[in-house]
Amino acid sequence: MSGGVDSSVGAALLQRAGFEVVGCFMRLGSPGEDLEGLRPADECDSSRIRIGKQGCCSVGDAADARLVAAQLGIPFYVCNFKKDFDRIIDYFVDEYASGRTPNPCVRCNDWLKFGKLHEYARQIGAEYVASGHYARIDRTDPERPELLRGLDQSKDQSYVLFGATRDRLKEMILPIGHLPKAEVRRLAEAFGLPVFDKPDSQEICFVPDNDYAGLVERRRPELAMSGEIRDADGNTVGTHEGHHRFTLGQRRGVGVAFGYPIYVVDRDPESNTITVGDEGRLMTESCRAGDTNWLVEPFSGWTEALVQHRYNSPAEPARVRGVLGDGEKPNIEVRFHAAQRAVTPGQALVVYDRHNDARVLAGGWIEHTAGNRAAGV
C-alpha cells in the first residue's frame, strides 16, 4: 500500500472478494522521510506526522496508507527497504554516469515491489502480492500466466512490469487492472477512503525537486566537469558542465544556437562530450536490448510484433527476434518498420503481440541503437 488511491482501492476490492489482506508500505528512505515513532494504524493521527513534499513512498504517503488500513481494519506493516533502495539510487547514478538514461521505477518493481516484497510475503505466510498497477494477468493456463495491458490504455503500466517472470506472475494480483481510473476514484469515494481525490504522484521519489543532475553530482562529484559541445561534423560549438546533465533528444537548455532547432543526438562519457544536430540524427531504425525477460519461448526467426521503447510512447510495428548475448536469455533484436525518434540506451523496451496488442511477449533494456545512416544493428 503506497498511500495512493490505486493501491487503496485494490486492498478494499480484495477484502470484499474474501481475501485476508495485509497492508505493507515500503520504507525506502526518500528525502524528507521521518517515520520514526509512528504508532499502529488503529491509533494513527495524520496531524501528528511531519509531511514532506508528496511523492511515491513519502512520509505523507505512509500516513495515508495507515489511515486507509485502519479504516479497512487490516493489519499494516512498514517494511524497511532503505538499504535495498540504495541499490536503486546507485543504479540511477551509474547509468547517467555511463551515458545512459535510467528508468528507476521499472527497476524498483523488479528488485523491490515484486522482488524483496515477495520474500517478505513468504515470511508472513501470504500467498500473493497485490499492487495498484494498471495491468492484468491472464490465468487461463495457471502454469503459463500472461501479462496484459490494463484496460485503461491511458494509464496502462504493463510496460513497467515487463520484468516479472512467469513464476512471479503466479504470485501477483493486480486487482484494478480491469478498471478505468475514473471508476477507481469513484469506488474510493464510495468506499469512504480518504484518498479518493489524492493527486497521482508524478515524481521520482528520491528526486522530489526533479534535480537529477544535482543528485548525480552529490554521489559522483567528479562528473561536474566542463566538456565540449560538438556538432555532427566534430566541430566544437560550445561547452557544458557535465555530460550527465543531458539526455538524448533534449532540445531546451542545450546552450548553443544554430538558427534552427537542434537536439542532443549523442553523449560520450569517456570524452565528456555532447553532440548536437538536427532531428533527423535522432531517428533509429534498429536496436538491441539485453537483460531480457521472455514470457513466451524466444523466437530465433524474425517475427512481426509491436515494440514500445519508452513509457509515454505507443508501441510501434517492428520485426523482432531473439539473438544470443551475454545473459542467460537471448537478447532482443528489433528492426522498426518506420524509423523511431530518440530510442535511448538505458530505457526499457517491451514487445507486444501483433495480433493481441495487450499481450506482453518479452522485454529488456536497450543497449545499442542504429540510425538511418547505419548499416544495421
Which active-site residues does the annotation give? 108, 205
Contact criterion met (CB below 8 Å) for 322 and 358: no
Which distant-in-sequence residues (6+ apart) come within 8 Å of 215 by Cβ?
89, 92, 93, 206, 207
Contact criterion met (CB below 8 Å) for 63 and 48: no
Would you state the cell numbers that stand for residue 98, as one nine-digit string?
555511463
Alpha helices in the chain (DSSP H): 5-16, 59-72, 82-97, 104-108, 117-123, 166-169, 181-190, 212-219
Phi, psi of 24 (to 5 degrees): -130, 130
Would you state the cell numbers that stand for residue 228, as one nine-digit string?
565540449
Would you state the cell numbers that stand for residue 4, as one nine-digit string?
495512493
Which distant-in-sequence residues (6+ apart) come within 8 Å of 375 by Cβ?
none
- DSSP states along 11-55: HHHHHHTT----EEEEE---TT---TTPPPGGG--GGGS---S--
Which distant-in-sequence residues (6+ apart) come within 8 Å of 31 by Cβ?
52, 53, 206, 208
CA–CA separation, 195 and 292 (whole Å): 36
